Every structure is written in structure tokens, then in C-alpha cells.
Structure 1
């Protein structure tokens, strides 16, 4: 019985040792095989847009590999611009300035995943305006350029989140838009853009309607010779009047710099402060004070 007990113990121990060991080895083998069978993620090549421009009604065309590139969620293109691209821009400038009836349309692309940090309705418009300003610095008249934005769902950035040339260009006949601009100017003057601030603060946050209003102001300033923008900072009557005059100026200056950073020329903007001297609501209530803490943007 004693020997039988020893044999039984050895048998049971051997069985469980084999069971646990081999089961573990089989699990590891299966896991290794599973890892081998896992398909690697497919790498998608970034979308490449060339600097391509063609005048369908003329005999001019450009097609260069280099283009303006943008980081994800950024509206200013990466610099410096290549010398080869500048050469093509020079050809474009010579063509557009040698004719009197041509206009250039610039459409900026963006994806729904990108964040719009500009003052414009979408990131595509902001990118187009950034490029338009550069072309203008190279001699292409600003008046003959129009900017648009378009969402591109399938546009792919590279591994560093850079989009290559997310733009489209087209040349068409120049149209007389003086009547449209006149109506736009009248509307802006009758409906100045008003931005509100919290007590003691000078930062702003724009909604979609305000972005569109700023885009209209930018368009008017860009197209109408001699036009300018006036930004007036106002406060409620909390605190010292002299301090409030400075706070109103700070808000106006902040708004001006915000517009300049988004491509509106600094020399077309005047920033002033009225402090607490021109309330539009009752300063004895919190609601009234909130309405008085404002910056008004209009044109002249």
C-alpha cells in the first residue's frame, strides 16, 4: 500500500506537469502564430497636388511638382517656398499682368478632421488667402484674385501631418463686381461686427456667423481701393475710467493683431478705444455691462 501510494503520487504529478507545461507551450505557439498572421496596417501615400494652372480660353498653362504645403490644422503655408515654385509664380504674374481681362481663383482644401483656428469660415479659405497674399507680394494684383474653400474627405497627409499642395487654381475672364462690392460695403456699415468680452479680458472666440462677417470685411478691404477698417474697443464702467480706456485699447489692438495674423494688411486697420464713454446698455445691471464690453469692427 505504501509503494502503491508512492506510484500513484508520481503518476498524478507527472500528468499535471505534462498538462500544464505542454498547454503553456501550445498557448505560446498559438500566440506566436497569431502574431505572424497579423497583417500590418496598410500605409497610404500622401495626396500630392501639383502647382497646376491652365487658361482654357487662352494659351497659358503651368504644371510644376512643387506647391505650397501646410501642416495639419494650419492656415499659413510652410516656408521657405522653393525657388522653382517662385519661377513658376513669376510666369503666372507676367501672364496675368500682361492681360486686362483675366482673374485667378484659388481654392484651398481641408479635411473634416482638421481644426479651423483662423477667422475665416473654413480652413480652406484661410489657406487660399495665405497663398493669395504671397502671390500679391510677388506682383500678382490682389484685385484680380478670388479665394474659396473646399472640404476634401479623402485628402491624406504624410507621417509628419503635412498636406502637399492642398490647393486648386483656375484662370477665367475678369468680371465687373463693383456693384456687388458696393452693396457689401453698405451692408457692413449698416451691420458692424460686434464682439463681446468677459470682464477684464481681451481674448475673443468667433462663431460661424462672425467668421463669415470677417470674411466679408476682408474681401471688401481687398477689393476696394482706399477702403479701411476701424476697430473700436469699449468697456463697462467697472473700475477706473482711465484703466478702462486702456482696456478698450488693449481689446482693439488684440483684435487688430488677430486680423493681421489672418492676412488682413495692418495699414488698412485702425484700432481705437472709447473706454466706458459710449455705453449701449444700462451699466447698473450685469446684462447691460456684458453688452457694453465689446469691440466694434466696421469699414469706411
Structure 2
């Protein structure tokens, strides 16, 4: 469409709904208009901005009931204004008329206009035969109005509208979102253990000949690894078993000897003599 102060858009562009990023969503058209006015005041290129109404509805508000007296009065008032305009215009071209004659001509034009318009209004109302006995006003409204801009200037428009204290229901971008932005990875499903980072070593797992991570041949809770069939047992001390020092002392802690058993009883396996 064309206007007096803007450019003329191509016909194909005027027939399609504008696309882009929504920088603001408002429930009132006046709020959307105020947002665009603010962008224009901040020297923003408003030729990239469009206002799109969603869920358009035609609203007809009834203002009153019609009757013959009301129709006649409305027609007489409309005709009086039209007759006054015609009488004043004719008085400018009538140079022979005096001051009193000019007023008379204007008054005559007002009366004739009121009479004719009242007659036409009564005839038109009678022709409807009571099918529309009320007056109303029509208006097209939308449930919400979106302010849409082209993607190349969307970030600048959001930055400017953030300074305007108005309520908007449009979704705001996350901090740091823009070119090269990647959303965070989704959390693992419930019941799935988290993946171990590369290079992680289990300090409680037994060493493996291949140098792999302890979590592959041993359990994650530090218990002894399970030996597969046909495979030699792993060498080295198990958890909780440590060899003594060369002089016979325990490597960790102090060994406590059991008290001597009563005479006449044979020593058990756990006695010091059998150790």
C-alpha cells in the first residue's frame, strides 16, 4: 500500500503476512503503536517493523433503538448542516444580495435541507419494515497485536524496547543468545547413570593389564571385579588385603593378638599359631 510519507511496497509483499521475529506482543493496538513510536524516536529503521493482529473479530456495538421521531430528528439535523453549507457557498457568489438578503437565503437553505433530509430518512426507515430497529457502530478488533521485525535488526529492537516500561507477552531471548548460540544439552533420562568423563580413573578399582578405566572391568562402587570365564585371575592385592612388611609388621595399623585360649582346647584356625 502507498501513503503520503512512506514508500510504496510491492503488490506481492502487501498481500502476504509479514514474517520475522516477534519483539513485542500486546493486548491493545495503542500499546503496539506506542512501541513502534518509541522505536521511531530512537532513530530505529521502522521500515523493518510490522504490526500483526491475531484472531481478528468484528465487533458491532448497539448504541440505541430506532423509531420514527428519532429517525426524523436525525435526518433533519443532517439536512440542516448540509443546507447551511450550501447557503453559505451561494452567498459568496451572489454579489447583489444585501446583508439581510444573505441571511435570508442561508436560513432558507437550512430549512429546505432539513425538510428534504427528514423526508428521505423517514422513507428509508419505512422501507426496512422493522428489520433493523437499532443503531450501532462497527469495529474490527484482535485478541493480540504482535510487533514483528526482520531478523537482522531484531536484537537492536529488543534492546530498545527493554527500556520502555510496558507489559509484553513476547518471549525474551536467553542471555548470550545470538549467532553461534547453542542451547544446553538435555539432562539424562531418569534412572540412567551419568556418563563418566574421558580420562576418569577409579581409585578403588583393580588395575587392568590393558590400562583401561577401572569402571570397565570393576564395579563402580569399588567392589572386586568380576572374572570372566576362561580368563586368568587378576594379580595384586584385593581391597582390604595388604601384604606385611619384610620384618613381619603389618603394612597399615597394628595387629592385635588374641588372648590365650584355655588349656585343654585345641587352637582354632584364627589363632596366632596357625597364622
Larger RCO (CA within 8 A; separation ≥ 6): 2
Report TM bin, short chain.
under 0.3
Higher strand share: 1
Q: TM-score, normalised by structure 1?
A: 0.16
Higher helix share: 1
Q: TM-score, normalised by structure 2?
A: 0.17
